[in-house]
């Protein structure tokens, strides 16, 4: 009898420990690192005639993934290369540059950041040392001005040795609506469709390839994060403008693998509509913020970062919709 009780106790304890682990620790977000000989989480793959993408982890940033938890891409023209997203630190930028040099001898002349978040801008310090022109939306530059050193310090905390020698730099060129780049015989267009999940969100279109590097306008397999200043109503409107232009194109989302418009619509707009409808019902019933935290989002629990973001997203939508 004692042995049975002891065994049952061990089983219960092991179960509780397993439940206390995060989804990342349980391995639900995939391998902690796919490119063991590189700072990159995974190496670039060719996604169209002129575009390569290193698909980042769909995990929170960690020392193991070096902060490569967004997609880092490059576009090759006949005269020069455009990098889309500078990376979270100089180590990632250097690693991406090494991969670029395996494909082409052309210089990296331009680097465009999809917004002002750390994994888009902090590696720009390296690219500046390579004489690349740094480009971003004016609102992303404002975020760098206001929050840049905090963003840098947070990266240093998780990235540890990968953060060495990375410093904050500003864009050389900012724009408000769109900015066209000539890479020789190839054109790339950086464009904003309006407010999305963070200040200065842009997408980069490569019309000849019918491909768009969507940035954080669009998500796939990873739950979209909603920040305190995210206006989900405006994000939905912006997404519709994005959809109208690139409906039949190949989509490289800000997070997740290469896909199509139907997939990122389900992973972005439809999720925002769902949350807003749930919160609207709570508000009409006189409910509270606690009710928002309890919204049943189990239909999305297969998405990566669900554990970290689901309840927080609902709370932030509630807090904003209270005053719409």
Domains annotated for the chain, with CATH where assigned, are: 21-321 (3.60.15.10)
Alpha-carbon gap, residue 13 to 27, rounded angstroms: 20
Collapsing DSSP states into helix, strand and coil, what is residue 142?
helix
Residue 227: C-alpha distances to residues 8, 74, 99, 215, 319 (Å): 43, 28, 33, 16, 11
Residues (pLDDT < 70) of the chain are 1-27
Strand order in the sheet with 81-84: 45-46, 51-54, 72-76, 81-84, 108-112, 133-137, 173-175
Q: What is the pLDDT of residue 32?
A: 82
Q: Going by C-beta distance under 8 Å and a sequence separation of 6 or more, which residues neighbour residue 284?
A: none
Closest CA to 57 of 69, 66, 67: 69
Determine contact, residues 162/201, Cβ cutoff 8 Å. no
**What is the edge-to-edge ordering of all strands in the sheet holding 178-182?**
178-182, 187-191, 203-206, 211-219, 250-255
Q: Give the pLDDT confidence score for residue 20 in this predicted structure.
A: 59
Contacts of 212 (CB under 8 A, 6+ apart): 203, 204, 205, 206, 246, 249, 250, 251, 252
50 neighbors 209 (Cβ within 8 angstroms): yes
Measured between alpha carbons, how far is 242 from 214 in angstroms, rounded to an integer? 9
Nearest to 91 by CA among 72, 76, 107: 72
What is the pLDDT at residue 12?
41
- Report the DSSP beta bridge partners of residue 314: none
- The backbone region for 169, taken as left when phi is positive above 0, alpha when psi lies in -120 to 50, beta otherwise, is beta
| pLDDT tens digits along 34-89 | 898 999 999 999 999 999 999 999 999 999 999 999 999 999 999 999 999 999 99
Q: How much is the pLDDT for 28?
A: 73
> Residue holding tokens 């022109």?
133
Token readout for 200 is: 């200065």
pLDDT of residue 26: 67
Contacts of 296 (CB under 8 A, 6+ apart): none
Q: What sign for the dihedral angle of Cα 239, 240, 241, 244?
A: positive
CA separation for the pair 55, 102 (Å, rounded): 17
């Amino acid at each position: 009898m004692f042995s049975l009780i002891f065994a049952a106790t061990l089983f219960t304890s092991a179960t509780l420990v397993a439940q206390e682990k995060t989804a990342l620790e349980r391995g639900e977000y995939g391998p902690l690192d796919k490119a063991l000989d590189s700072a990159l989480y995974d190496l670039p793959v060719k996604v169209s005639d002129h575009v390569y993408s290193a698909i980042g982890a769909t995990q929170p940033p960690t020392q193991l993934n070096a902060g490569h938890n967004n997609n880092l891409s490059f576009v090759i023209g006949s005269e020069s290369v455009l990098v889309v997203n500078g990376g979270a630190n100089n180590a990632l930028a250097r690693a991406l540059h090494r991969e670029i040099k395996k494909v082409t001898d052309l210089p990296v002349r331009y680097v465009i950041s999809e917004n002002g978040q750390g994994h888009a801008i902090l590696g720009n310090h390296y690219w500046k040392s390579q004489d690349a022109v740094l480009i971003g939306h004016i609102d992303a530059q404002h975020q760098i001005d206001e929050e840049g050193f905090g963003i840098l310090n947070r990266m240093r905390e998780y990235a540890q040795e990968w953060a060495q020698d990375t410093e904050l730099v500003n864009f050389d060129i900012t724009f408000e609506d769109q900015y066209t780049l000539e890479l020789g015989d190839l054109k790339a267009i950086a464009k904003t469709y309006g407010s999305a999940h963070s200040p200065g969100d842009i997408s980069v279109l490569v019309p000849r390839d019918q491909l768009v590097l969507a940035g954080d306008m669009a998500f796939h397999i990873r739950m979209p994060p909603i920040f305190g200043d995210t206006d989900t109503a405006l994000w939905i409107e912006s997404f519709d403008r994005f959809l109208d232009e690139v409906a039949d194109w190949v989509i490289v989302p800000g997070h997740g693998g290469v896909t199509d418009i139907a997939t990122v619509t389900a992973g972005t707009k439809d999720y925002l509509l769902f949350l807003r409808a749930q919160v609207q019902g709570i508000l009409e019933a006189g409910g509270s913020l606690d009710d928002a935290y309890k919204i049943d989002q189990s239909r999305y629990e297969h998405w990566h970062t669900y554990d970290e973001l689901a309840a927080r997203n609902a709370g932030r939508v509630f807090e904003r919709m209270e005053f719409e």
